[in-house]
Amino acid sequence: MGQKYGPARVIVARNWQAMLVQTQSKSEQQQILIVNDFFARNLRYQTDIQLWKQNDYWATPLETLGRGLGDCEDYAIAKYISLRALGVSDDKLRLIYVKAKLAGTNKTQAHMVLGYFATPNAQPLILDSLITKVLPAAKRVDLSPVFSFNSQGLWANNSTKSVASPTARLSRWRKILEQTSQEGVMW
């Protein structure tokens, strides 16, 4: 990693590993806040076109930490993998594709956040790259969910029942899961 991204980014990756170790014994609520804060402090937002010269690229947590930059999917993926590594059950986490209202306009933009569901029917807490504070979904009136997924399922229109296998339908997601494992990240 040092040759590819430089010594400063290796330190950030080591800090990520240390944060995961230090956070393991904390409650899920504390883990969510600590993980969200870690990425808010250690990453800057940059579009895929600027960063990867591609319209849509989903980076692994190590790629994101290595660059110190990422877009909304990269933040959400890094937080998801981190919380899974801490032992948060997959059925409590979903990457949520939303339409985000742009401030001062009637326009929306495609966006991705991470949702944490304390129970299956609970209102999720939203971990976002746009707003550093973790908030309940009801307080995020700027977001309209379209579909959500994790490594177990794919849900449409806020359904509580999975409609498909996410790895069969989402090739980028399948690639991220495979790459993350190949990089040695255990989750």
179 closest CA partner among 66, 96, 87: 66
| Residues 171, 175, 178, 181, CA torsion sign | negative
Domains and CATH numbers, the chain: 2-182 (3.10.620.30)
Cα(12)–Cα(38) distance, rounded to whole angstroms?
A: 10
Summarised one tens digit per residue, pLDDT across range 99-156 is 999 988 999 999 999 999 999 889 999 999 999 999 999 999 999 999 999 988 888 8
Question: Pairing state of beta strands 93-101 and 135-136?
Answer: unpaired
Summarised one tens digit per residue, pLDDT across range 159-182 is 666 555 555 557 888 888 899 999
Cα(165)–Cα(31) distance, rounded to whole angstroms?
A: 27
Question: Per mean pLDDT, which range of 39-53, 54-68, 172-186 is the poorest?
Answer: 172-186
Assigned token pair, 82:
């981190």
Q: Is 97 helix (H, G, I), strand (E, B) or coil?
A: strand
- Please give the pLDDT value at position 185: 86
C-beta neighbour count of 112 within 10 angstroms: 21
Question: Pairing state of beta strands 44-45 and 69-70?
Answer: parallel
